[in-house]
């Protein structure tokens, strides 16, 4: 009787094992019928890897960024012999792609400037949409020059070497405006605490330690404007425009046609703004210029001016105004990719000098002599 029970148990066990084996065999056979999957790795970058089915194409990722370099393409070999084509190269095995970069040369030229002949204009607006721009007054300015375009990411990175790569969420590339930049980044700052605590410091700061002063603003040696002036070597002292200079240029100077926006009454002709920007900056100079041939003074990015922000003075006539002597924030003009009313030539707002804003950039100016 015991032997019979043992035989039954043995048969049952063998049957169970056979069933399990058949189950696994069936799973293996089913698995073998599924397409293979391979891993595509993007070497030496923060780009996440992709799982791709056999014979299908990998998805082209957003271009990676690297300070001091521009991205060229993804290659199949570390020697950069064959470029990977995301539209025709099928994945048939695990693969690692290699990013090819081109080093930026440090800036050695000059930013393209537009001469603005001095003149007299009516600054401000009585329009209810420009409530910060009242009262209007007559302003007279001397001649000066101002950037034809907003300072680009290419110019920023090369002057500030290697600079900081912006977020690709809001537009990235050599021909995009620099944004996410503070007033202090442009003008520079004097670190009083570090200087005082430096035991090797000279008793008196050496000549040029503070850079130079224009229109009541000191441009320090660690700021963009001072570095640009040194690199350009053309004798110009680059600076931010005063608010009055900015508005005169935005209105078209002595050639002004009295437009609401810089160069047109139709915002879409001259500005990247809330309705057409797709939520970010766009390449500079891709809209129509204003009467002076200056681009993007409405939209794309707000632009820093050198002035402190305050209410306009009650005086009806001013000569060469440079703004209040003190304040809590600095003037911003021109509107951005997220604006509508802010793109009007008279519209104004402000920001704290030490804060970087994703919708804020700048253009430079300099005296005409």
Report pLDDT for 240.
98
Average pLDDT, the chain: 85
Copy the structure tokens of residue 340: 């509508």
CA atoms lying within 13 Å on the CB side of residue 301: 31
pLDDT the model gives residue 205: 58
Q: Residue 225 in contact with residue 178, Cβ under 8 Å? A: no
pLDDT tens digits for range 330-365:
999 999 999 999 999 999 999 999 999 999 999 999
Residues of the chain with pLDDT below 50 are 1-34, 193-194
pLDDT the model gives residue 315? 84
| Domain ranges within the chain, ordered by starting residue | 37-103, 113-367
Q: What is the pLDDT of residue 4?
A: 43
Count the neighbouring beta carbons within 10 Å of the beta carbon of residue 98: 18
Pick the CATH number of 113-367 from 3.90.850.10, 3.30.40.10, 3.90.1580.10, 3.40.50.1100: 3.90.1580.10
What are the tens digits of pLDDT across the range 168-193?
A: 789 988 899 999 999 999 999 876 54
In order, the DSSP letters of 260-278 are SBTTBSSHHHH---TTTST
Superfamily of domain 37-103: Listeria-Bacteroides repeat domain (2.60.40.4270)
> Strand order of the sheet with strand 37-43?
50-53, 37-43, 95-103, 69-75
Distance CA 259, CA 345 (A): 8
Residue 130 main-chain phi, psi, to 5 deg: -110, 50
Q: Quote the tokens at residue 17.
A: 């094992």
Instruction: Please report the pLDDT score of residue 239 as a whole number.
Output: 98
Q: Which helix (H) or strand (E) holds 246?
A: helix 243-250
Rounded CA gap, 313 and 144, in Å?
23
Per-residue confidence (pLDDT) for residue 163, from 0 to 100: 63
């Amino acid at each position: 009787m015991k032997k019979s029970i043992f035989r039954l148990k043995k048969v049952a066990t063998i049957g169970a094992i056979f069933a399990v084996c058949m189950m696994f065999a069936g799973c293996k056979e089913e698995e073998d019928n599924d397409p293979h999957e391979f891993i595509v790795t993007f070497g030496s970058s923060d780009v996440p890897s992709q799982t791709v089915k056999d014979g299908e194409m990998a998805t082209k990722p957003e271009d990676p960024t690297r300070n001091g370099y521009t991205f060229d393409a993804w290659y199949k070999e570390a020697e950069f012999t064959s470029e990977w084509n995301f539209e025709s190269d099928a994945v048939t095995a695990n693969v690692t792609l290699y990013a090819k970069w081109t080093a930026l040369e440090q800036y050695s030229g000059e930013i393209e400037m537009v001469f603005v002949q001095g003149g007299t204009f009516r600054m401000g607006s009585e329009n209810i949409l420009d409530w910060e721009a009242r009262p209007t007054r007559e302003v007279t300015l001397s001649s000066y020059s101002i950037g034809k375009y907003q300072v680009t990411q290419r110019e920023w990175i090369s002057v500030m070497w290697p600079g900081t790569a912006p977020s690709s969420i809001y537009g990235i590339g050599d021909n995009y405006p620099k944004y996410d930049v503070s007033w202090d980044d442009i003008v520079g700052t004097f670190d009083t605490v570090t200087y005082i605590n430096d035991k090797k410091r000279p008793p008196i700061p050496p000549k040029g330690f503070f850079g130079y002063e224009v229109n009541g603003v000191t441009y320090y040696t660690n700021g963009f404007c001072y570095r640009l002036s040194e690199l350009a070597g053309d004798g110009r002292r680059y600076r931010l425009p005063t608010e009055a200079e900015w508005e005169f240029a935005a209105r078209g100077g002595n050639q002004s046609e009295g437009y609401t926006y810089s160069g047109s009454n139709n915002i879409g002709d001259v500005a990247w703004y809330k309705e057409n920007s797709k939520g970010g900056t766009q390449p500079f100079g891709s809209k129509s210029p204003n009467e002076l041939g200056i681009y993007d003074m409405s939209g794309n990015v707000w632009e820093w001016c050198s002035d402190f922000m305050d209410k306009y003075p009650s005086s009806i006539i001013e000569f060469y105004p440079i703004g209040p002597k003190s304040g809590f924030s600095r003037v911003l003009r021109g509107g951005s990719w997220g604006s509508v009313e802010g793109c009007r030539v008279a519209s104004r707002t402000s920001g704290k000098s030490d804060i970087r804003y994703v919708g804020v950039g700048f253009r430079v100016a300099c005296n005409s002599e």
